[in-house]
Amino acid sequence: MIPFFKMNGSGNDFVLIDNREHVVETALGPVPVVDFVRSICRRVASVGADGLILIERSDRHAFRWRFFNADGSEVEMCGNGGRCAARFAFLKKIAGRSMSFETAAGVIDAQVAKDVVKLRLTDPADLQLNVSLPVDGRTLETHFVNTGVPHVVHFTEDLETFDVFHTGRAIRYHEHYAPKGTNANFVRVIDGRTIQVRTYERGVEDETLACGTGSVASVLIAAARGMVESPVNVRVQSGEVLKVHYERDAKGFSRVYFEGRVQVTYEGTIWEEAYRSLATQNAAAGLPFDN
């Protein structure tokens, strides 16, 4: 039995586990963590989520996290996941309302105020504007920035009918971003303080209802092109609005924050049969785990 919270940040949903006492490793035994993540994140068959977060001990900060996409891949950062992790840590008395925590992308600062969490991301890197990218027989004008994880941004006035899945998937696996790939964001600028974003997420391998680092990337690219000014409201597919703040000087962007609501959906315990049966059955048959 593994205790967990199910949470969502603006439509991105996650399973969160307090793993400071290594409950996951103790429970899993020979089952690889990757198989566990993929089992638990499967919708209908298990809890279902866009990702899974393990909260672990840190010598310097409130906690250290490990973040896994639904496909089992472990990545550096997830903005909405980070907001969920911060509220989880506050509710579990792991941290106070103001905290910092370790990620593979660097140290993240967070502030919790009721169900609203404000997160400071690491400074963006590798900004690239006006990249002509051949996609499915046409050339798209794209832009790139790393906001903890890589993001491509493409602006369109026809966002509602845009083929986010197929175009996003083509960009995600494009040879220009091989071998790790990238996330893909499609953006409509509504006015100087508001944009709308749809995102195809690497690791989820589909469009998600929201992406925190993608929302920030979209704002920063729009700002670099002179289309918006801080703070910027970001409308995401869940219908919620994220707010992004940033500072900018001749050296680039810094002090990048974004905030929005975080919801606890439920808490419970994961039974062994939810993750062990399929993995062990496949292993016994000499088959790889298949999501």
Active site residue 78: yes
Is residue 131 within 8 Å of residue 143, measured between CB atoms? yes
Is residue 119 within 8 Å of residue 258, measured between CB atoms? yes
Residues of the chain with pLDDT under 70: 277-291
pLDDT for the residue numbered 279: 54
pLDDT for the residue numbered 291: 45
Start and end residues for every CATH 3.10.310.10 domain found in the chain: 2-122+265-284, 125-259
Catalytic pick among 16, 17, 54, 78: 78
Q: Which two tokens stand for residue 123?
A: 């400074």
DSSP structure string for 196-234:
EEEEEETTTTEEES--HHHHHHHHHHHHHTTS--SSEEE
Catalytic pick among 47, 140, 204, 211: 211
Q: What is the pLDDT of residues 220-279, one digit of tens each?
A: 999 999 999 999 999 999 999 999 999 999 899 999 999 999 999 999 999 988 887 555
Per-residue burial over 101-133, b = 16 or more CB atoms within 10 Å of its CB, e = otherwise = bbbebeebbbbbeeeebbbbbbbbeeeeeeeeb
What is the spatial distance between Cα 275 and Cα 21, in angstroms, rounded to a whole number?
19
Q: Which of 36, 25, 27, 99 is nearest to 68 (CA)?
A: 36
Q: Which two tokens stand for residue 72?
A: 């089992």
Fold of the domain built from segment(s) 2-122+265-284 = Diaminopimelate Epimerase; Chain A, domain 1 (3.10.310)
What is the spatial distance between Cα 67 and Cα 80, in angstroms, rounded to a whole number?
11
125-259: CATH architecture:
Roll (3.10)
pTM confidence score: 0.86
pLDDT for the residue numbered 222: 98
pLDDT for the residue numbered 284: 52
pLDDT for the residue numbered 129: 97
